[in-house]
Amino acid sequence: METYGKILLIAMPAFLVLILLEKWWGIHKGNDTIRTMDMVSSLTSGITNSTKDVLGLSIAVLSYNWMVSHWAIIHIESSVWLYIIAFFALDLTGYLVHRIDHEFNFFWNAHIIHHSSEDFNLACALRQSISTFVRLFTIFLLPAALLGVPTQIIAVVAPLHLFAQFWYHTQHIDRMGWLEKIIVTPSHHRVHHAINPEYLDKNYGQIFIFWDKWFGTFQEELPNVKPVYGITRPVRTWNPIKINFMHLWLLIKDAWHARNWSDKLKIWFMPTGWRPADVADKYPIYKIEDPYHFEKYDTSAGKSFTIWVWAQLAILLLIISYLFGNLAQIGSPGIFYYGLFIYVFVYAFTELMDGNPYAWAWELLKFLIGGWLIWNTNGWFGIEQLHPVLPYIIGFYFTVSLLLSIYFRKDSHRVPVTA
């Protein structure tokens, strides 16, 4: 956990700088693909996901370490080949898991967050799941386990493999010549994120595109079909925590309402989007039928509220950075209390962005938890060692944030944006 936290301390500012550079470039070229509220929603999603990963809030039904210990046929001597094998094994696993996430109702819940943005930019790459607490598909790493690739190698290569998927979430890079035949490019991934009928459920590859070509899921970007982004059942919120569980909640409700017991059971394993006929008739859900004519979700806000959104994001990044940089010092159970505070912070923040008139109640909860943590940790998890005035500054911020949440509760409102 501590090592990954240190890695994120470097990765987070690097990602933020690249996102801001993409926004600057888009404005410079007259093609700004980043809306502020959507970008902030993506960043807060990345924060919730990285917090979950750093705190280790998931378990594997079958661990990779166990497979290596019990099933390894050979043990390749330590060399660059170990890293290459690990990288290819992770990429094939990524393709298979990605495809399953798209093709089965239950597993779509773990991936809906990544496709929930109706824009396509570097920021949306950070929309990652917090809803998966049990990892089922470690078995797909079996080829690496049989070759005896050590767990430590997988642990090093896995974050590199993940971070290498960031760059191709952009509309500002066109076709890339011969590289289009080998690696996943922005053009390939634009297809993957599109809801056009021609593009749905294609290009699952994460680093290498040849998996899609071999397994029949490849689709090139067509010159006369501009990708339209999002999901066909739009989420209509900036709140990443809500997005993470809304499909699961829909499945639970549909299973409850279904008359036939067979439907109650099979809904979980049917193709993504399937609903029992009686439930679909009685409880219809809005679905985008024409991807070229629909209203994107957006909220409009005054200049002062937008400035406050940026300020909140900056403070959130500082608070999460302190956690990642001091995991050992904070220790357990303190890191889990801290993680809970982060989630309440994000929930209150994004509810205010949505214009929810009751966002102040979540902000009040944040204020109470934050105040309790200051009191219970004698000044916010040892931060007083940096400077004795810092706990008072944090407490002052909690107060100001609550008051401004009440003040701004009606400043943000829903506005239509044509796709």
Q: Which tens digits make up the pLDDT trace of 336-391?
A: 999 999 999 999 999 999 999 999 999 999 999 999 999 999 999 999 999 999 99
Q: What is the pLDDT, as a whole number, of residue 61?
A: 79
Q: What is the pLDDT, as a whole number, of residue 176?
A: 97
Distance CA 130, CA 340 (A): 13
More confident residue, 4 or 419: 4
The closest of 347, 311, 307, 294 to 130, measured between CA atoms, is 347
Retrieve residue 113's tokens: 């967050």
* Helix or strand holding residue 266 (H, E): helix 261-266
Retrieve residue 31's tokens: 């093609």
Q: What is the pLDDT, as a whole number, of residue 146?
A: 94
Confidence class of residue 414 from pLDDT cuts 50, 70 and 90? low
Q: What is the pLDDT, as a whole number, of residue 411?
A: 57
Q: What is the CA radius of gyration of the chain?
A: 22
Q: What is the pLDDT, as a whole number, of residue 416?
A: 52
Q: Is the pLDDT of residue 224 over 70?
A: yes
Distance CA 260, CA 230 (A): 32
Q: Which amino acid is at 12?
A: M
Confidence class of residue 211 from pLDDT cuts 50, 70 and 90? very high
Q: What is the pLDDT, as a whole number, of residue 418?
A: 55
- Mean pLDDT across the chain, nearest whole number? 94
The DSSP result for 12-59, as a single string, is: HHHHHHHHHHHHHHHHHTT-----HHHHHHHHHHHHHHHHHHHHT--E
The closest of 337, 313, 335, 312 to 324, measured between CA atoms, is 335
CB-CB neighbours of 223 under 10 Å: 7
Q: What is the pLDDT, as a whole number, of residue 375?
A: 96
Retrieve residue 88's tokens: 């290819």
Confidence class of residue 412 from pLDDT cuts 50, 70 and 90? low
Distance CA 353, CA 35 (A): 13
Q: DSSP 3-state assignment of 418?
A: strand
pLDDT, tens digit, 9 for 90 and up, residues 316-335:
999 999 999 999 999 999 99
Q: Say if CB 118 and CB 238 are below 8 A apart.
A: no
Distance CA 78, CA 68 (A): 15
pLDDT, tens digit, 9 for 90 and up, residues 305-319:
999 999 999 999 999
CB-CB neighbours of 240 under 10 Å: 28
pLDDT, tens digit, 9 for 90 and up, residues 123-148:
999 999 999 888 888 999 999 999 99
Phi-psi region of 299 (alpha: psi -120 to 50; beta: other; left: phi over 0): beta
CA distances from 73 to 88, 149, 230 (A): 18, 11, 44
Query: Helices 2-28 & 303-325, crossing angle to 10 degrees?
Result: 150
Q: Is the pLDDT of residue 188 over 60?
A: yes
Distance CA 211, CA 203 (A): 9
Q: DSSP 3-state assignment of 413?
A: strand
More confident residue, 94 or 77: 94
Q: What is the pLDDT, as a whole number, of residue 302?
A: 86
Q: What is the pLDDT, as a whole number, of residue 74?
A: 87
Q: Say if CB 127 and CB 240 are below 8 A apart.
A: yes
Phi, psi of 403 (to 5 degrees): -65, -40
Cβ neighbors of 42 (< 8 A, separation 6 or more) are: 117, 123, 124, 125, 126, 127
Q: Is the pLDDT of residue 410 over 80?
A: no
Confidence class of residue 1 from pLDDT cuts 50, 70 and 90? low
Q: What is the pLDDT, as a whole number, of residue 254?
A: 98
Q: Is the pLDDT of residue 415 over 80?
A: no
Q: What is the pLDDT, as a whole number, of residue 37?
A: 96
Q: What would the mean pLDDT of 187-210 be, rounded to a whole number?
A: 98
pTM, two decimals, is 0.94
Q: What is the pLDDT, as a whole number, of residue 409?
A: 77
